[in-house]
Amino acid sequence: MIFKQLFDQKSSTYTYLIASSKGREALIIDPVLENVSNYIILLKELDLRLVKVIDTHIHADHVTGASKLKDITKCSTIMGDLTPADSVEIKVKDDEYIKLENLKIRAMYTPGHTSDSYSFLMDNYLFSGDTLLINGTGRTDFQNGDSKDAYNSIFNKLLKLPDETFLYPAHDYKGEKVSTIGKEKKQNPRLQVSSVDEYVDLMNNLNLKKPDEIDFNVAKNINLGA
Residues that bind Fe ion (CB under 5 A): 59, 130
| Beta carbon nearer to Fe ion, 59 or 220 | 59
In angstroms, what is the minimal distance from the CB of 139 to Fe ion?
Answer: 8
The full DSSP string for 135-158 is TEE---SSTT--HHHHHHHHHHTG
First to last CA, the chain: 31
Q: Between 59 and 68, name the residue whose CB sits nearer to Fe ion.
A: 59
Tell me the closest approach of the beta carbon of residue 171 to Fe ion, in angstroms: 7
Q: What is the closest distance, in whole angstroms, from the C-beta atom of residue 57 to Fe ion in the complex?
A: 6
- Beta strands across the sheet bearing 179-180: 97-100, 103-109, 118-122, 125-127, 166-168, 179-180
Q: Provide the minimum distance between the beta carbon of 89 and Fe ion in the complex, in angstroms, as a whole number.
A: 22
Closer residue to Fe ion (CB): 52 or 59: 59
Q: Taking CB positions, which residue lies at the least distance from Fe ion?
A: 130
Residue 92: other Cβ atoms inside 10 A = 22
- Between helix 66-73 and helix 36-45 the angle, nearest 10°, is 40
Nearer to Fe ion, 42 or 167 (CB): 167
